[in-house]
Amino acid sequence: MRSVLAGTGAWVLVSSLVLGSMVGCSTDPGADAGQEQGDEETDVGCGGKNAPPCPESKRCKVNLDCASQTCVSGTCGPSKDGTASGCKGADDCASKVCLDGACKPAAPDDGVKNDDETDIDCGGAKAPKCGDGKGCGVAEDCESSVCTSGACAAPSPTDGVQNGGETDIDCGGPNAPKCELGKACVAHGDCASDGCGYDQKCALARSCTARFGGDTCGAGEVGDPNAQHESCCTAIPLTNAANSKKLDKYSITAGRMRAFVERFDGNIKGFVSSLGANHADWDQAWTANMPSNMDQLNIELGPYGIDGQRQGCYLNGQGARTYWMPDAVNTSFSNEIAHKYGKDVLDAKALQCATFFMMQAMCIWDGGRLATLDELDAQWGGTYPWGAQGWTSDRAVHKFTYGFPENRLDNTAYIAAPGRKPAGNGPKGHADLGGLVFNITSTFDANGRPRWSRNGSWENHAIPYGATFSPKTRAYWAAGGRCTRN
C-alpha cells in the first residue's frame, strides 16, 4: 500500500485496488455459484424483490419468485398454463392434465373435472350440460335445467321447467300430460284437444287447427286490423239442457272440413268404421256412404257427389261451393270449371254442399255431433234470433246483401265466413242462427230424414223458415251444419 502522502490520486488508486481484491471485478449477482447474493434473493441471482425470476428447480418462496409462476414446496416447478414442459403428474398442472411431460389446457372432453366444470366434462360456461345425477351449481349446468342439492335432477312433469321432451312447461311430449289450449306443441298428440294449430299452439278442437276457417270467425274480414276473430270451435253452454253439452257459436267452416278429411287422407270410411256398432250418434249402416280415399272424397264434396243428390254445387254457371279443390280436380268433372276464389278465402267461409253423413262424421271426430233442432231453436231470442225486430242487413247474411270479395265473380262471394253479423247473434251469443246457411240437424222425421233449421239462408229463403226435411244423401248450396259438443 502506498502512503497517503502520495496525494489524493494515489489514495484513490490504492483504495480501488484494495476494494477490487476484496469483492472481485464482477458485478453479476449470480456469478458466485452456491452463494446467495442478498437477503431478497431466494436462490443464487434470482427470486425475491430485485432479482430476475428463477428457472425451474431453483429455490422459491412464492409463485412470483419463479419464471413459471409456479412455486411448489419451495421449488420452482413447470408452468401450469400448458406452455411449459416438465410436469410429472396431474397435480403439477392447473388443468389437472399432464401429457407427455407438458401441462395441457382444460377441455370439455379431457375426462377431468377442471376449469369451471361442475362435474367431469360437463357444467359451467364451456362444457356441455350435465346429465341426471351429475354435479351442478345452478340450473343452467343441467340438461334437465333442474339443480337440486348440488346434483342435476331427472326431468319431471311437476318440476315447473320445460324439459324431458316436453313441448311446454310440464306438458306435451312422450312423458308429460297433454297440453291445454294455447300451450306450445309440435304434434296433435301433444294437446288435450288432439289439435296442434298452424301456430304451434294447442287449438280449441281438432278441426280448428288451420288458419283460415280455424280462427277467422267473428266480425270483420281477414286482413281488417279491427277484425274481432276467435276460434271457429268456440262453444257456448246449451240453455235448454241440464247437462254439460255446448253448442258451437259458429256454423262449420270449409276449413274445418278440410282439417277433418286431411287428417285421414280422405279415408272417412275408416274413421267411422272405428266408431263401432254401438256409437250413440253413428249408425254403421251409414258407413257405406263414406269415401275411403281422397279421390272418392273429392267426388263426395265435388259438384255432383257420389249419389248425385246435389243442387247448386257446381261452379260453371250460377252455383256456389265453398269447399276448395285444385283446378285439376275441378276440371276433371264433366262441364266443371276451376274456383274463381282462392283456398284461403273459401276455407274461411261457411261450409255448404255437404251431406248429413259428412258433417255428422266431422262433428263426431271433433268431439260431438250435429246439433238437434231443439238445441238450435232454444237459442233464438224471439221471433228472430236477435229478438222481435225485423230483418236488416246488419243482422243476417241474407238476400244477397253480403259480398266478399267485393268482385263478385260467382255466388260463393255471397256466402260469409261465420260471425260476420254480430248484431244478429242470439241471446247467448250464437252467431248466424238466422241467414247464412241452413243447419242440417240430427233431428229426424219418421222416415229418417234430417230436419233443417229455421235459418233461412244467404239466398232468399225467409227468416224464420218453415219445417224442412231432406234425405241424408242430399247436399245443397244453402245448407251447412253446426256441432253440439261434449
The string of pLDDT tens digits covering residues 217-232 is 999 999 999 999 999 9
The string of pLDDT tens digits covering residues 325-343 is 999 999 999 999 999 999 9
Q: What's the length of the chain? A: 486
Angle between helices 254-263 and 356-365 (to 10 degrees): 70
The CA-atom distances, in angstroms, between 118 and each of 42, 97, 103, 126, 475 are 38, 17, 21, 11, 69
What b-and-e string marks burial along 299-336, b requiring 16 or more CB atoms within 10 Å of the CB? Answer: bbbbbbbbeeebebbbbeeebbbbbbbeeebbeebeeb
What pLDDT does residue 52 have? Answer: 86
Residue 67's Cβ-count burial label (10 Å; 0-12, 13-18, 19+) is middle
* Domain coordinates in residue numbering, the chain: 35-105, 247-485
DSSP 8-state assignment for residue 81: S
CA–CA separation, 421 and 360 (whole Å): 26
CA–CA separation, 61 and 73 (whole Å): 8
Give the range among 37-51, 76-90, 386-400 with minimum mean pLDDT.
Answer: 76-90
Element (H, E) at 236: strand 235-237
Asked whether residue 457 carries a pLDDT value surpassing 60, the answer given is yes
What pLDDT does residue 15 have? Answer: 36
Class of domain 247-485: alpha beta
Asked whether residue 18 carries a pLDDT value surpassing 50, the answer given is no
What pLDDT does residue 422 have? Answer: 98
Residue 344's Cβ-count burial label (10 Å; 0-12, 13-18, 19+) is middle
Q: What is the mean pLDDT of residues 63-68?
A: 83
Asked whether residue 96 carries a pLDDT value surpassing 50, the answer given is yes
Cα diameter, the chain: 156
What pLDDT does residue 92 have? Answer: 86
